[in-house]
Amino acid sequence: MANGVVNQHISKQFDDELENVRGKVLAMGGLVEQQLNNAIKSLIDGDIDLGTTVIETEVQVNSYDVSIDQECTKILARRQPAASDLRLVMAITKTITDLERVGDEAEKIAKMGLELTDKQGPKSYYVGINAMGNLVSQLLHEALDAFARMDSKKAVEVAGKELESDDQYVAILRQLITYMMEDPRNISGALDAVWVARALERIGDHSRNICENIIYLVEGKDVRHTSIKYMEEIVFDN
């Protein structure tokens, strides 16, 4: 499968089914991306209404997850796809799982924001988290863009950026531990911030998973649990 190209079949209905389910994945991705952005903003700004919207949106995300999974099951049963078609269906089922889990993490961040509304804590707790949130949001956006274009080269690039979110997570933990050591009264607020940072770190992981699904789809190679260097060899040396 060439980047950005879905195989054409004798049956136009089959083409339509594949394109329809692919379109639904992108719609789900757009919804989850907005959910994440709203969750981060609601936490930083203390916006109760926006946080509530994020939580309510989770119902729509779950509905997409179930609907797309059911359609993929029907395609497998009815069409018995092989080769790149089968990889497309498998990549979609894995991608929606990651998107649903991103939605879960976004919901956790929003709920934390609601709980912290009445608490008085230093804004410095969330300086690093805001920066990490922006990075992770960009990772998700670029991963979805790579999926839309079936661009394995872009997927490798985005997967490599995920390492930056890991570095930011470690830096945030060190900063928060310092706050807790300096004054025991900081412990409660700092621990809340740790949970938010952990949720963002997981979202970065899920964004990388989506990139790995794209590489599998386009190149036909399973690159899970491998290095960025190996991914680059698979994609750029072909």
**20-42 burial: b if 16+ Cβ within 10 Å, else e:** ebbebbeebbebbbebbbbbbbb
Q: Is the pLDDT score of 3 beyond 60?
A: no
Q: Is the pLDDT score of 119 beyond 80?
A: no
Place of tokens 């930083």: 44
Residue 127: the pLDDT is 78
**Sign of the C-alpha dihedral computed for residues 34, 155, 214 and 170 taken in this order:** negative
Whole-angstrom distance, CA of residue 156 vs CA of residue 214: 9
Helix axes 187-219, 127-149, angle to 10 degrees: 10
Q: Does domain 12-236 have CATH number 1.20.58.220?
A: yes
**Residue range 119-142: mean pLDDT, rounded:** 83
Percent of the chain with pLDDT over 70: 91
In the predicted model, what is the mean pLDDT of the chain? 91
Residues 87-105 pLDDT 10s: 999 999 999 999 999 999 9
Task: Note whether 94 and 25 are within 8 A (CB).
Answer: no
Q: What is the DSSP letter of 10?
A: S
Amino acid at 99: L
DSSP percent split of the chain into helix, strand, coil, nearest 5: 85, 0, 15
Q: Beta-strand (E) ranges in the chain? A: none
Residues 173-208 pLDDT 10s: 999 999 889 988 888 888 888 999 999 999 999 999
Q: Is the pLDDT score of 166 beyond 60?
A: yes
